[in-house]
Chains A and B, each alone.
Chain A
Amino acid sequence: MTGSTLTRALSRQKWLPIAIATLVLGAILSLASPSFLTLSNFQSILVQSSVTAIMAVGMAFIILSGGIDISVGAILFFTSALFAQLMMETGSYPLAFVAAMSAATALGALNGLLVVRFGISPLITTLATYSIYRGAAIHLTGAQNIPVPREMGFLGNGKLLGLPVPILLLAVVFALGLYALTRTRFGVHVRAIGNSLRSARETNLPIGRTTVAVYAIGGFVTGIAALILLARVGGLQSGIGIGIEFTVIAAVILGGTKLTGGSGTIVGSVIGAVFLVLIDNGLNLMNASPFVYDVVRGSVLLAAVAVDRVSALRRDRQLRAQKAARLREAHA
C-alpha cells in the first residue's frame, strides 16, 4: 500500500486510526507481559470495556446528530438506583427490569425533548438534567448503598454459549447500532441533521423526532450498561457514574467521530472504549498509581485531537495546492 492510498484510507474510514492504535498498543502490551496475549485476558478486556463501549454506541448517535449528553452518568446512576431499590422492595426481576429500562429511555428522551423544545444548547440542558437526575436518584434511595441479589452476577460475570454475558450484550448493542446507523432511514437522518441543520430544514427532514429518538437511544443503552455495572460491582454505590460521561465522550472522539456532528462511526466508538481500557491495563502492568490514569487519558485525548487537526490542516493545504495547480494548467 502506497503512502497516499494509506492516507486516503485513513481519512475515509474514520475508525481505522483508532483500530491501528489499539492493535499497536495491544502488541506493545503483549511484548511487555506474556499473560497479555491470552484468550481469557482478551475476554476480560472486552468485559471491562463493555459498560463504556455500550454507552459509547448511544453517545455516538447523539454526537453524530450534532448534540452532546453530559447527563449519561446520572442516567446510569438513576437506573442502577431504581433497579436496586425495586429489587430490594419487591424482589421482582421483571418489574425492576422493565421499570429500570423504561426510566433510562425516558430520561434520555426527556433530554431530547428539552433540547428540541427550548432551544438551549445540549451542553447546558444536559448539565442541568445531570444534576436533576442524580439528585432524584439519591432522593429515591435515601443515599444508601443497596446490594443486589447474588444471581444478578450472571449479567456481569456469567457466561452464555461460552461467552461472557457483557460481551454478548455489547455485541447485540453494537450490531443493532451499526444496523440502525447504516441501514435505516433514521440513521441517514441522524447523520444528515448533524452535518447541516440548515440543509435538514430545507430538505424537510423530521428534525425534532430524530433528535428525541437519538437521546432516547442514548438513555436506553445506558440502562443496559447500568444493569451490567450493577451486576459487576454487586450493588448500588454512591460513586457510580461520576465522571463516566467524559470517558464515554472520549471513547467516541478517539474513535474518529467529529464533535461537530455528521461524521463518525459506531465501530470507532466501541474500539475507542476498548483502547481506553487497554491503556488502563498497560498502566496496571507498569504498577502505575491509579491517579496517573487520568493524566494519561487526558494526554491521549489531547494528542488524538491534535493529530487529527494537523492532518486536517495538511489535507486543506494539499487541496489548495491541487486547486492552484489546476488553475495554472487551465491557463497554460
Chain B
Amino acid sequence: MQHADIEAPPVLSAHGLSKAFAGRTVVDGVTFDLRPGEVLALVGENGAGKSTTKNMLCGLLTPSGGEIRIDGQPVARLDAEAHGVSAVHQELSLFQTLSVAENICINRLPGHPARIDWAEADRIAREQLAFLGMDIDPRAAVETLGAGRQQLVEIGKALLTTDRVLILDEPTTSLTAVEREKLFEILERLKARGLAIVFISHFMEEIFRVCDSYVVLRDGAQVDAGRLADVSQSRLEELMVGRSVGAARLELPPPQSEEALRVEGLEAADFHDVSLTVRQGEILGIAGLMGAGRTELAEAIFGLRPARGLILVHGQKVSRPSVAAMKRLGACYVPEDRRLNGLFLNRPVRENLSAAALARFVRRVLRGIGFRGERQAAGKVVERMNIAIPHIENPVGDLSGGNQQKVLLGRWLATAPRVAVFDEPTKGVDIGAKFDIHNNIGALAEAGTGVVLISSDLPELLNTAHRIVVMRKGRIVGGFDRAEFDPARIISLAASAETGGRT
C-alpha cells in the first residue's frame, strides 16, 4: 500500500467539531487532519454520529462548535463546491430518470448553458466510466442500472466536481465482491492522484485494506484517532463498541421445544431458498450485511412483498400471508425504518400505540372506539416501555429517536404476540433506550414468544440471541448456537467474498 505524504499540509482538518440538535449534543470533539493522498476511516456503530459528522464535512450541516479548516484556513460554513469537497451519500443522490451522462455531468454540463455540448458530455462520462472500469452506454437511464453500477456512477459524478476531498459513506454495501475489488483499485488510483478521502464504513476488513488513519466515534464523541498501522483490528472493534462482548448479556432460559415460526424454501427476488425455525421462547438472530436480503425476507414472511414457499405459525400453514393474517395468528413484524414504515409522525402517541390493536377498543354497541380503554392501555405501554413523554396526546414526531422506537415496539407488544420479528430494533437509539429495548425483547422471549432479531449490530446479537444464522446475498450461509458464538467467524461468513459475486 502506498503511503500518504505525512509531511504535506492537511487539505481538510477538523478541530473539536461538534453538533447539537435542540440542545442535544449528537457529535462532540471530532478532530483530525487529512492530507492529500490519505484515506481516513471514520468508524463507529450505528448512531455513533458518523452521518452527522459527514454532513458537517460536506456542508449540509453547520457545526455548532469547533471548526473546519480547508488548507489550514478556518471556514465558517463549508461550501462543498467552492472548497472542493464531494460526498457520496449512502442514499445515492442520483436522478433515476436521467441518463448516466446527465447524472455524471449534472454540476458541470459542458458547453454554453443554452447549448449543452452533448458529445462532450458523453465523452466526459465515458472517460469517468472508463476510469471506474465500467463499459456502459452514457445515454442509458440510471434507473436501468443495478445498484452496484449506480454506486459507481455516483462516485463518477462526485469525482467530476473535486480533485481534493472525497467522502464515501458505506460505499461497498450494495456492491458485489467483484465490484468491491474494483472500487478498492479505483481508490488506490485516486490516492496516487493526491485526492484525500474520508471513508465511512464498519467493515474492519475494508478499513484495514484501504485506509491510512482512523477516527473512532462512540455515542457521538470521538474516543480515539491515529494511524491504522499502530492499532489492531480487535482493539479498533473494542473502541467502537466500548465494552467487551458479553458484558450486557441477557440471561435467558433455554427455549421450549414447540415451534413458533417455521419458514421453508422461501424464494423471492432478493433471497433464495431460505428455511428457518424459531421455537417458543427462543431468540433467533439473523446477521448479515446491508443488502443481504434480511429485511426482504421478513417483509415476505408478512406478505409485504411477493414470495413463494411455506410459512407456518405454531404449526398452522399461512396460505396467503399478510400483516393482518399474521396478526390474527399472533405474529408481528416491527420494521427497520420507523419513520418510513412504522410511525404516524403527526398523530398522537396514543393513536400510534393502539394502531395494531384497534379492534380491541371498539365497543360492541354503536361500534365506537372506547377512548378510556385506549388511553389506559396506552398509559400502561408507556409505563412498561419506560417511554419518556410529557403526554400521550403529543405527536410521536416530537419524540427522540429512542422513544419513537419504543412507541413502535410498544404498539406491537400491546398485541401480546407469540411470534415477533424485530428488524434493527435499536438502530439509531441511545444506550439507555437500547438497554430498555433489549430487556423488553428478553422478557417477551421469557414469556414464551418466538423472537426473530435482525440486526447489523453484532454485539447486540451475541448478547441477546440463543442462536444466530448468517445471511449473505439472499441465502442463509451458516448458523451458530450460543455456545459456539464466534464474532470473527460470523463477520467473515457475512462479508466473505468467495461465493458472493457473479464472476
Decide whether A and B are members of one complex.
yes
Q: Which A positions have Cβ atoms within 8 angstroms of B?
A: 183-186, 188, 191-192, 195-196, 198-200, 202-205, 262-263, 319-321, 323-324, 326-331
How many A-B pairs with Cβ below 8 Å?
A: 82
- Assess the B93–A199 pair: CB atoms within 8 A: yes
- Assess the A188–B109 pair: CB atoms within 8 A: yes
Q: Which among B96, B114, B116, B267 is the interface contact of A188 at CB below 8 angstroms?
A: B116
Residue of A202, A205, A262 contacting most chain B CB atoms (<10 Å): A202
Contact A203/B269 with A185-B116, A196-B95 known, Cβ cut-off 8 Å:
no
A205 to B94, CA, bound (A): 12
Q: Which residues of B contact A324 (CB under 8 A)?
A: 267-269, 272
A183 to B119, CA, bound (A): 11
Q: Is B113 an interface residue (CB 8 A)?
A: yes
Q: Which among A195, A204, A329 is the interface contact of B107 at CB below 8 angstroms?
A: A204
- Assess the A185–B109 pair: CB atoms within 8 A: yes
From residue A258, how far is it (CB to closest CB) to chain B in Å?
Answer: 8
From residue A225, how far is it (CB to closest CB) to chain B in Å?
Answer: 24
Q: Which residues of B contact A198 (CB under 8 A)?
A: 93
- Assess the A202–B89 pair: CB atoms within 8 A: yes
Residue of B95, B102, B267, B270 contacting most chain A CB atoms (<10 Å): B95
Q: Which residues of B contact A327 (CB under 8 A)?
A: 269-272, 473-474
Query: Majority SS of interface residues in chain A?
Result: helix
Q: Which residues of B contact A185 (CB under 8 A)?
A: 109, 113-114, 116
- Assess the B80–A204 pair: CB atoms within 8 A: yes
Which residue of A has the minimal Cβ distance to B103?
Answer: A192
A204 to B106, CA, bound (A): 10
Contact A183/B116 with A192-B95, A196-B96 known, Cβ cut-off 8 Å:
yes
Q: Is B235 an interface residue (CB 8 A)?
A: no
Q: Is B50 an interface residue (CB 8 A)?
A: no
Q: Which among A203, A262, A323 is the interface contact of B97 at CB below 8 angstroms?
A: A262
Q: Which residues of A contact B109 (CB under 8 A)?
A: 185, 188
Q: Which of B462-485 contact A (CB under 8 A)?
A: 473-475
A204 to B85, CA, bound (A): 13
Q: Which B positions have Cβ atoms within 8 angstroms of A?
A: 60, 80-81, 89, 92-98, 102, 106-107, 109, 113-116, 118, 267-273, 306, 473-475, 499, 502
Q: Which residues of B contact A184 (CB under 8 A)?
A: 113-116
A186 to B271, CA, bound (A): 42
Which residue of B has the minimal Cβ distance to A327?
Answer: B272
A8 to B144, CA, bound (A): 12
From residue A244, how far is it (CB to closest CB) to chain B in Å?
Answer: 28
A196 to B103, CA, bound (A): 12
Q: Which residues of B contact A331 (CB under 8 A)?
A: 272-273, 473-475, 499
Q: Which residues of B contact A196 (CB under 8 A)?
A: 93-96
Contact A203/B473 with A198-B93, A320-B268 known, Cβ cut-off 8 Å:
no
Supply 20 A–B pairs (Cβ within 8 Å), ascending by A: A183-B115, A188-B102, A188-B116, A192-B98, A195-B97, A196-B94, A198-B93, A199-B93, A200-B95, A203-B107, A204-B80, A263-B97, A320-B269, A321-B269, A323-B269, A324-B267, A324-B268, A327-B272, A331-B475, A331-B499
A204 to B81, CA, bound (A): 9
A330 to B500, CA, bound (A): 8
A180 to B116, CA, bound (A): 10
Q: Which residues of A contact B269 (CB under 8 A)?
A: 319-321, 323-324, 327
Contact A328/B97 with A188-B102, A203-B106, A320-B306 known, Cβ cut-off 8 Å:
no
Q: Which residues of A contact B268 (CB under 8 A)?
A: 320, 324
From residue B320, how far is it (CB to closest CB) to chain A in Å?
Answer: 18
Q: Which residues of B contact A319 (CB under 8 A)?
A: 269
Q: Which residues of B contact A186 (CB under 8 A)?
A: 113
Q: Which among B95, B114, B270 is the interface contact of A199 at CB below 8 angstroms?
A: B95
Which residue of B has the minimal Cβ distance to A64?
Answer: B97
- Assess the B116–A199 pair: CB atoms within 8 A: no
From residue A89, how far is it (CB to closest CB) to chain B in Å?
Answer: 38
Q: Which residues of A contact B271 (CB under 8 A)?
A: 327
- Contacts A198-B93, A200-B95, A204-B81 aside, 4 further interface pairs with beta carbons under 8 A come to A184-B113, A191-B97, A263-B97, A331-B272
Residue of B474, B475, B502 contacting most chain A CB atoms (<10 Å): B474
- Assess the B270–A323 pair: CB atoms within 8 A: yes
A331 to B474, CA, bound (A): 10
A196 to B102, CA, bound (A): 14
- Assess the B475–A262 pair: CB atoms within 8 A: no
From residue A260, how far is it (CB to closest CB) to chain B in Å?
Answer: 10
Q: Which residues of B contact A183 (CB under 8 A)?
A: 114-116, 118
- Assess the A195–B96 pair: CB atoms within 8 A: yes
From residue A316, how far is it (CB to closest CB) to chain B in Å?
Answer: 10
Q: Which residues of B contact A191 (CB under 8 A)?
A: 95, 97-98
Residue of B92, B93, B268, B499 contacting most chain A CB atoms (<10 Å): B93
Q: Which residues of A contact B116 (CB under 8 A)?
A: 183-185, 188
- Assess the A195–B306 pair: CB atoms within 8 A: no
Q: Which residues of B contact A323 (CB under 8 A)?
A: 269-270
A188 to B102, CA, bound (A): 7
Q: Which residues of B contact A199 (CB under 8 A)?
A: 92-95
From residue A266, how far is it (CB to closest CB) to chain B in Å?
Answer: 15
From residue B443, how far is it (CB to closest CB) to chain A in Å?
Answer: 37
- Assess the A330–B95 pair: CB atoms within 8 A: no
From residue A16, how far is it (CB to closest CB) to chain B in Å?
Answer: 15
- Assess the B106–A205 pair: CB atoms within 8 A: yes
From residue A312, how far is it (CB to closest CB) to chain B in Å?
Answer: 12
A42 to B269, CA, bound (A): 50
Q: Which residues of A contact B102 (CB under 8 A)?
A: 188, 192
Report the 5 A-B pairs with minimum CB-CB distance, sorted nearest first.
A202-B93, A323-B269, A320-B269, A199-B93, A185-B113
A285 to B116, CA, bound (A): 46
Which residue of A has the minimal Cβ distance to B144?
Answer: A12
Contact A188/B106 with A202-B60, A324-B272 known, Cβ cut-off 8 Å:
yes
A186 to B106, CA, bound (A): 11
A331 to B106, CA, bound (A): 38
A184 to B114, CA, bound (A): 5
- Assess the B98–A195 pair: CB atoms within 8 A: yes
From residue B149, how far is it (CB to closest CB) to chain A in Å?
Answer: 14
From residue B271, how far is it (CB to closest CB) to chain A in Å?
Answer: 7
Which residue of B has the minimal Cβ distance to A12?
Answer: B141
Q: Which residues of B contact A192 (CB under 8 A)?
A: 95, 98, 102, 106
Q: Which residues of B contact A205 (CB under 8 A)?
A: 106
A188 to B114, CA, bound (A): 11
A263 to B269, CA, bound (A): 26
Residue of A186, A319, A330, A331 contacting most chain B CB atoms (<10 Å): A330
Q: Which residues of A contact B93 (CB under 8 A)?
A: 196, 198-199, 202-203
A195 to B106, CA, bound (A): 13
Q: Which residues of B contact A200 (CB under 8 A)?
A: 95
From residue B176, how far is it (CB to closest CB) to chain A in Å?
Answer: 9
Q: Which residues of B contact A195 (CB under 8 A)?
A: 95-98
Which residue of A has the minimal Cβ distance to B118?
Answer: A183
A244 to B332, CA, bound (A): 50
Q: Which residues of A contact B270 (CB under 8 A)?
A: 323, 327
A82 to B233, CA, bound (A): 76
